[in-house]
Amino acid sequence: MNPDWSRRRFIGSGGTLSGAAWLKLTTPGLVAAAASACDAMESASAFVNLSEAQARELSAISARLIPTTSTPGAIEAGVIHFIDQSLAGEMAAERAAAFQGLSEFLSGLNPEQPNRLFSELDAADQDAYLKDREGTDFFEFMRLMTIYGFFAMSSHGGNRDHLSWTLIGFEGHGAWTPPFGHYDSETEV
């Protein structure tokens, strides 16, 4: 055994090897989905999986989960394009459940007005309705997809122009070699 090999270096090499194997197995699908998501986001083209009505409602939900304040939110990050593309690719098995969840979510808005839409409510009513639905499968799905779409690499359709990374001070922007930022700039690899 080479005495220059530290435990950190050994673990780093193992991670690199397993990451390379995973990347080799999944790269073609990810590249195709990412390219398609970026094209859709940049050209504001029609959605692949979502109808305009579904996109409007899912976008309104994600906009309340990560709202636009003094900083950009889910709308500016293009989260809806991430969700749309994910339901075409890696999350295709979840598509039917997501659409059923949205239908059930909307049906619970107001039984006296069955055609009422979440996107038509004011922000306070949207927040109150989401609070009532917190913990449901659909709410958790939307929460995760919104977070993923907001913070994922831009190549996956969300995080337009790396805006979320800029907000949190992440300096990587695709450079996946250490140091990743100020927090590990003095770490030896």
Residue 73 within any structural domain of the chain: yes
Angstrom CA distances, 158 to 14, 48, 68, 81, 86, stand at 30, 15, 15, 6, 10
pLDDT of residue 70: 85
Please calculate the CA angle 16-81-77 and round it to the nearest 5 degrees.
Answer: 80
pLDDT in tens, 142-181: 999 988 887 776 655 555 666 665 666 666 655 555 555 6
pLDDT in tens, 2-17: 455 444 444 444 444 4
Angstrom CA distances, 101 to 92, 94, 107, 143, stand at 15, 10, 10, 13
- Would you say residue 72 has pLDDT above 50? yes
pLDDT of residue 163: 62
pLDDT of residue 109: 87
pLDDT of residue 153: 60
76: confidence class by pLDDT, cuts 50, 70, 90: confident
pLDDT in tens, 108-145: 887 666 678 999 999 999 999 999 999 999 999 999 99
In sequence order, the 6+-apart residues with CB closer than 8 A to the CB of 33 are 85, 86, 88, 89, 90, 156, 157
Angstrom CA distances, 94 to 17, 32, 51, 84, stand at 30, 19, 16, 12
Residue 188 within any structural domain of the chain: no
- Would you say residue 35 has pLDDT above 60? no
Residue 2 within any structural domain of the chain: no
Nearest to 36 by CA among 49, 24, 23: 49
Residue 185 within any structural domain of the chain: no
pLDDT in tens, 139-152: 999 999 988 887 77
Residue 3 within any structural domain of the chain: no
Query: What long-range pairs does 109-118 form, CB within 8 A, spacing at least 24?
Result: 117/56, 117/57, 118/57, 118/60, 118/61
Cβ atoms of 66 and 147 within 8 Å: the answer is yes
Mean residue pLDDT of the chain comes to 74
- Would you say residue 63 has pLDDT above 50? yes
- Would you say residue 58 has pLDDT above 60? yes
Cβ atoms of 167 and 71 within 8 Å: the answer is yes
What total of structural domains would you count in the chain?
A: 1
What the block records as the tokens of 153 is 């690499």
Residue 181 within any structural domain of the chain: no
Residue 131 within any structural domain of the chain: yes
Residue 189 within any structural domain of the chain: no
Show the domain range for 19: 8-172
- Predicted TM-score (pTM) of the model is 0.65
